[in-house]
Structure 1
């Protein structure tokens, strides 16, 4: 995976955890599910295998860093392995949310809350 220096930014900021409250709650309550969804979306492994890998020390960080790098490559987002690793270590839950919201953007609600 090469460093992308002239790509775009993530569609959700790292601290934008509450942009999708469903993803935020899922990640807070069962982070292994979000982790599994992200590694499957990146093509690293199956969702269930990824969710189980979340419980294997060291391997989970290696798989996560590879997955985050692939997500960046697929979406053309600038960054490098060092930033990926630091983000995972220091902002794990936020990184899971950010990756998940990048791969599965929120669909507009079928019911409008606006009043006529």
Structure 2
């Protein structure tokens, strides 16, 4: 290389790395069922009701609690494992909405291995975040709108002499 020539080669630069926002964490663990004893007992006796309530909130009122409960019950009686596949899709929607990690494992695996605990955890998560599934979507939405109220504007002082 001639000393009079400038070095036209550019030095390689480090690639720009983009990091995604940090994932939030589940408010409670998968085995913390007794932190909400009422929903735990309802889930033990009729898990489809807990699922129906959660599904109504996750999908913002469509399907209704009744429809989601009925679908879960029919799938459980007709296909057995079909209910786990149906319910795990709502866990995935809940995780995406709140940026929750797939812990302790994937959604379908959690619903297949720990069906009752998964339903309880999802129910608790919504309840802790202020969307009580027991009241349904209409009540949760009304509460959310009520919480958004803003303070009245402060009038500017009038003209003075």
Q: TM-score range by the shorter chain?
A: 0.7 to 0.9
Residue 95 (structure 1) aligned with residue 118 (structure 2)? yes
Q: Which runs of 5+ in 1 are unaligned?
A: 108-116
Cα displacement string for residues 23-70 of structure 1 (whole angstroms, at most 9, x for unaligned residues): 111111121110101111110622111101112135423321210011
Q: Which one of 5, 10, 15 corresponds to residue 31 of structure 2?
A: 15
Q: Which runs of 5+ in 2 are unaligned?
A: 1-19, 131-161
- Partners of 1:36 and 1:50 within 8 A in 2: yes
Q: Which one of 31, 36, 39 corresponds to residue 52 of structure 2?
A: 36
Q: How many residues align?
A: 103
Residue 66 (structure 1) aligned with residue 94 (structure 2)? no
Q: TM-score, normalised by structure 2?
A: 0.57
Separation in structure 2 between the aligned mates of residue 5 and residue 83 of structure 1, nearest angstrom = 20
Question: Greater CA radius of gyration, 1 or 2?
Answer: 2
Separation in structure 1 between the aligned mates of residue 95 and residue 109 of structure 2, nearest angstrom = 15
Pairwise CA RMSD of aligned residues? 2.4
- Partners of 1:23 and 1:97 within 8 A in 2: yes
Q: TM-score, normalised by structure 1?
A: 0.77
